[in-house]
A and B are shown apart, each in its own frame.
Chain A
Amino acid sequence: MALRAAISARVLSSSSARGARSMSSWWQGVQPAPKDPILGVTEAFLADPSPSKVNVGVGAYRDDNGKPVVLECVREAERRIAGTSNMEYLPMGGSIKMVDETLKLAYGENSELLKDKRIAAVQALSGTGACRLFADFQRRFCPDSQVYIPVPTWSNHHNIWRDAHVPQRTYHYYHPESKGLDFASLMDDIKNAPNGSFFLLHACAHNPTGVDPSEEQWREISYQFKVKGHFAFFDMAYQGFASGDPERDAKSIRIFLEDGHQIGCSQSYAKNMGLYGQRVGCLSVVCEDEKQAVAVKSQLQQLARPMYSNPPLHGALIVSHILGDPNLKKLWLKEVKVMAERIIGMRMALRENLEKLGSPLSWKHITNQIGMFCYSGMTPEQVDRLTNEYHIYLTRNGRI
């Protein structure tokens, strides 16, 4: 017995001498990361065997049968693209054609800024990638700056600016009592922030609350930004998706541009073109003049190069085919309207049903809010109950 133990000990020690680290690991100190609060919901949903499960967690559009949707204009674009690409690297700044069309959407077809070539813009990895590039850019060129982020916001915003090493502060946004905008506190925060602060604004269809400032309120915000010399960074992930009309959804940005702000903007085609997994978006920064725009663009590319070298092609081809062809573009606008209207219809139906069931609470906020999400006002405990008992999956902040 003892001999056997001695022999096996010798065998063990000789094999571990070879790979000195084979028993213990370099990665001992690595803790399991917490599940992402949004994408983790889908993971849990997929793992649930219940036949009546419902996923109202992640922000991906579904048709009336709960199925993912690929837009007709996208399918047609793909048919046209098939076999035509040579797979060569895009430039570091991505597809120029796609970026040009994308800027027209945000800034307006006849924007003077576009004519004067004052916008530095690069193709980015959807909205996340655009925000991250900007955060890294902000860190590098305004190293003493902070970013003001609304409460609440898309949870990944915090991760992005944190990993970019830009300190964060918050500003008031959501008013829980009215389930609307806390405009007075919002304006106070803007006034109290040091001059020249960076603010993250949701251009339309605020995520997660669905609460947007009115046009009048946007004008006041813009004016106060001018007084304080603040920098406005717009995250526009839902253009077209909020009201059904992309021009209308860009109103906040247009107001700021009219007032002469030099803004930054993140755009995404994940939702409004249903291109989620293709990761296609755009980061733009308005500059003083063409020369500065060229310099800024070169620096954005310099940040992209050690992250992914150049962005993926397929999604960009789809976008430029659709937006570059008047008929496909018309079809896209129609399809976006259908998606937005279905959601607006769902809001009304949900509210009516709750009221019909005799709920004593007020559910007005469901139809007051806009975009893909509804901030229901449910607590984390109530959410857990919905998930555990009814197999309804949503994020714990009560966002549907």
Chain B
Amino acid sequence: MLPPSSYFYMMGNFGLQILVIVISFLQSLGRITMAVAVDVSQFESITMAPPDPILGVSEAFRADTHEMKLNLGVGAYRTEELQPYVLGVVKKAENLMLERGEFKEYLPIEGLAAFNKATAELLLGADNPIIKQQRIATVQGLSGTGSLRLAAALIERYFPGAKVLISSPTWGNHKNIFNDARVPWSEYRYYDPKTVGLDFDGMISDIKAAPEGSFILLHGCAHNPTGIDPTPEQWEAIADVIQEKNHIPFFDVAYQGFASGSLDADASSVRLFAARGMELLVAQSYSKNLGLYAERIGAINVVCSSADAAARVKSQLKRIARPMYSNPPVHGARIVANVVGDPALFSEWKEEMELMAGRIKSVRQKLYDSICAKDKSGKDWSYILKQIGMFSFTGLNRAQSDNMTDKWHVYMTKDGRISLAGLSAAKCEYLADAIIDSFYNVS
């Protein structure tokens, strides 16, 4: 397009007048265009986010129509009939709440006091001196995710530049949480694909090499996604190196009671560290052990060396929560408080946990037996039995995991993780066939 000046020369005076009219018309069009341009979105350039690798698996499973399909994706417990399971104690607690006709008022920012008390006692043991000395700051959080996020925000604010070390591999959402909270992270070796076990030397070495005062994210029990936990002796050695380097232990406890069936046994790693007088962070979740997935109930705990520090830390956690969601949802907290607060319900809960953990142990056994019966190569599959909790790291690589889905309609995550909670005794043979085929025929 030529500059307006050249048009003047070409058209002469009359043309000039026409041009002026044309220009003002175009300018008025432009004003209208500007108003119309307002309708173009501010968010024009936004692209589709990638599907969540874990929750996306369930979506794909739902879309599959094959009759033998198996959902070993997300970590939600299923009965032998592969149905969701609402615990009996939860139904009873909800009925109690319904009968009482409780109010729906705001909880305080830190959550339900009865819940916070119960959760700290479950974690450390009711007689733990730390509780009596009020050295633990507990704030109700939105399940494990929300509790981790509160802790991450606390780290970002008070330890700017400090790194969190996460295991390789770890739950996929851990890195998202630290990324969005702007906390730098790096990995420590954890899974050894050669043994399908713990790379203990690598783990210790990487923790030792981290800058002093790093936060070490540890899975309290039933490591997700591998199912591989350190032994008690190994936990002692991990605590030694953490103390030596002045690191802070940061436990993610999502399966207390669900791993072994015993609340106390599953908390032993946390209690071991606490007994040494160490300060620590602990995120808890009731999604699995009380089946309260949808109600988002958990807690962030910070064990401090003094009651004064705990009070201050609690106040700052509240300050982080207020602009996130103001105060946490009440329903799940009341259920937990009612279950733990009633001796009969608490007892019944422990039985239900043993049942759930027991079913998982038995399908592990059955899967192992099925594989061994079919695979005569002498390969050692015993890691399936050694692993603990909801998940098992099959040792399958990405291509092999894809084969599981594409050929066998077994839905799992690409890292080779299967959720045993989604496996029934009846389907163990089928799964064994799928695993053997994928392991030997796909590379």
Contact = CB atoms under 8 A, between A and B. Distances in A.
Interface stretch (B200-208, B288-296, B341-349): B288-296
A153 interface: no
B309 A28 contact: yes
Nearest to A17: B243
B325 A126 contact: yes
Q: Which one of B41, B47, B86, B98 has the highest number of Cβ atoms from chain A below 10 Å of its Cβ?
A: B41
A23 interface: yes
A278 to B, nearest CB: 6
Interface string A125-161: 1101100100010000110000000000000100110
Nearest to B318: A33
Contact of B294 (A60, A89, A307): A89
A74 B46 CA distance: 38
Size bracket of the B interface: 35 or more
A39 interface: yes
Given A128-B326, A132-B323, A301 B49 contact: yes
Nearest to B278: A19
A277 B107 contact: yes
A298 B49 contact: yes
A86 B84 contact: yes
A156 B142 contact: no
B382 interface: no
A125 B325 contact: yes
A189 B289 CA distance: 54
Interface size of A as a range: 35 or more
B313 interface: yes
Nearest to A19: B277
Given A33-B319, A126-B326, A132-B323, A309 B145 contact: yes
A312 B98 contact: no
A248 interface: no
Interface stretch (B264-272, B298-306, B391-399): B298-306
Nearest to A223: B35
B305 A312 contact: no
Given A277-B104, A295-B47, A156 B323 contact: yes
Interface in A297-311: 298-299, 301-303, 305-311
Contact of B52 (A18, A36, A88, A305): A305
B332 interface: yes
A167 to B, nearest CB: 15
A88 B76 contact: yes
Interface stretch (B88-96, B222-230, B354-362, B406-414): B88-96
A74 B104 contact: yes
Contact of A87 (B37, B86, B145, B328): B86
Contact of A30 (B38, B105, B146, B313): B313
A90 interface: yes
A176 interface: no
Contacts of A310: 55, 294, 296
A68 B105 contact: yes
B248 interface: yes
A82 B94 contact: yes
B305 A33 contact: no
B339 to A, nearest CB: 14
Given A30-B312, A303-B180, A312-B295, A19 B158 contact: no
Contacts of B323: 128, 132, 156, 159-160, 162-164
A78 interface: yes
A43 interface: yes
- Most chain-A CB neighbours within 10 Å: which of B34, B45, B106, B318? B106
Given A27-B309, A309-B143, A260 B39 contact: yes
Given A68-B105, A276-B104, A30 B295 contact: no
B330 interface: yes
A314 interface: yes
B180 A307 contact: yes
B417 interface: no
Contacts of B84: 86-88
A365 to B, nearest CB: 28
A32 B315 contact: yes
Given A311-B296, A312-B332, A315-B329, A87 B46 contact: no
Contacts, number: 260
B186 interface: no
Nearest to B174: A306
A74 to B, nearest CB: 7
B311 A18 contact: no
A21 interface: yes
B331 A314 contact: yes
Interface string B84-121: 10100011001100100101111111000000000000
Given A29-B158, A159-B322, A278-B331, A292 B52 contact: no
Given A24-B305, A132-B324, A30 B316 contact: yes
A30 B74 CA distance: 38
B179 interface: yes
B149 interface: yes
B428 to A, nearest CB: 24
A163 B324 contact: yes
B276 interface: yes
A288 B291 CA distance: 40
Contacts of B149: 306-308
B145 A308 contact: yes
Nearest to A316: B294
A276 B104 CA distance: 6
A276 B106 CA distance: 5
B127 interface: no
Contact of A229 (B37, B243, B327): B37
A18 B275 CA distance: 11
A314 B97 CA distance: 13
Nearest to B90: A87
A278 B330 contact: yes
A83 B34 CA distance: 56
A306 B176 CA distance: 6
Contacts of B319: 33, 36
Nearest to B332: A312
Contacts of B18: none
7 contacts: A25-B304, A27-B312, A36-B109, A39-B327, A88-B294, A162-B323, A295-B48
Given A125-B324, A292-B43, 9 more contacts: A19-B277, A36-B109, A39-B106, A129-B324, A132-B324, A277-B105, A295-B49, A302-B49, A306-B173
